[in-house]
């Protein structure tokens, strides 16, 4: 009989590792900004930051370049600019390049515009170690190096790989090592 795997739930934002550009977001979230726009490619952490900001009372809007109806965004931004709430918006391109109604765009452009970049190898390795620490696991750097050389560079995909490796280690009652990671990739 295999080991019972208990659902540990989602790794919390305590395991968040700042990436290029995100330090400016965290600073602004803690500051006096009432309207803020962040932009960057898929996988740079925008949705994660929005989730945390929403928990801190911000009204958040993800991927505004895909929206057809922006009434809620317009009203929330107006309210924030009048001192009633805070608005954080994300998109894959700068708001200045997003096809929005001029009234909405002009209000968003009054806020801070922050670009996020994809994490580099050092940041991805730090994420890997933070996820391990959140599960109270010790994983050798060689394991992270092995996985990073073979897995997707997208943090979401890398996180899924971590979860699969952790589940495999529990199921086989093995430590998270390079041979176990190799077994995961060989499938």
Q: How do residues 92-127 score in pLDDT, each as one tens digit? A: 999 999 999 999 999 999 999 999 888 888 888 888
Whether 91 contacts 50, CB under 8 Å: no
**Confidence (pTM):** 0.74
Residues 137-180 have pLDDT tens digits of: 888 989 999 999 998 888 888 888 999 999 999 999 999 999 99
- pLDDT at position 152 is 85
For the cut 80, the answer to whether the pLDDT of residue 68 exceeds it is no
CA distance 125 to 17: 10
Rounded mean pLDDT of the chain? 85
The confidence score (pLDDT) of residue 81 equals 93
pLDDT tier at 67 (50, 70, 90 boundaries)? confident
DSSP bridge partners of 112: 36
The pLDDT of residue 84 is above 70? yes
For residue 42, give both structure tokens.
């898929």
CA 54 to the chain's CA centroid = 13
Those residues whose C-beta lies under 8 Å from the C-beta of residue 107, and which sit 6 or more positions away, are 35, 74, 77, 78, 81
Q: Give the domains, in start order, of the chain with CATH numbers.
A: 18-115 (3.40.50.300), 119-186 (1.10.8.60)
């Amino acid at each position: 009989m295999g080991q019972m795997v208990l659902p540990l739930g989602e790794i919390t934002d305590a395991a968040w590792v700042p990436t290029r550009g995100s330090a400016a977001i965290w600073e602004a979230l803690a500051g006096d900004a009432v309207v803020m726009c962040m932009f960057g490619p898929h996988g740079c952490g925008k949705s994660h930051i929005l989730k945390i900001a929403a928990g801190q009372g911000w009204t958040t809007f993800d991927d505004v370049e895909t929206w057809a109806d922006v009434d809620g965004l317009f009203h929330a931004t107006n309210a924030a600019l009048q001192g009633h709430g805070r608005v954080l918006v994300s998109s894959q391109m700068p708001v200045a390049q997003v096809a929005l109604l001029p009234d909405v765009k002009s209000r968003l452009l009054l806020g801070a515009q922050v670009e996020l970049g994809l994490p580099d190898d050092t940041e991805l390795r730090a994420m890997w170690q933070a996820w391990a620490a959140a599960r109270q696991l010790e994983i050798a750097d060689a394991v992270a190096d092995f996985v990073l050389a073979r897995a997707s560079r997208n943090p979401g995909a890398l996180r899924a790989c971590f979860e699969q490796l952790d589940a495999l280690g529990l199921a086989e009652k093995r430590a998270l090592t390079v041979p176990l990671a190799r077994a995961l990739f060989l499938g």
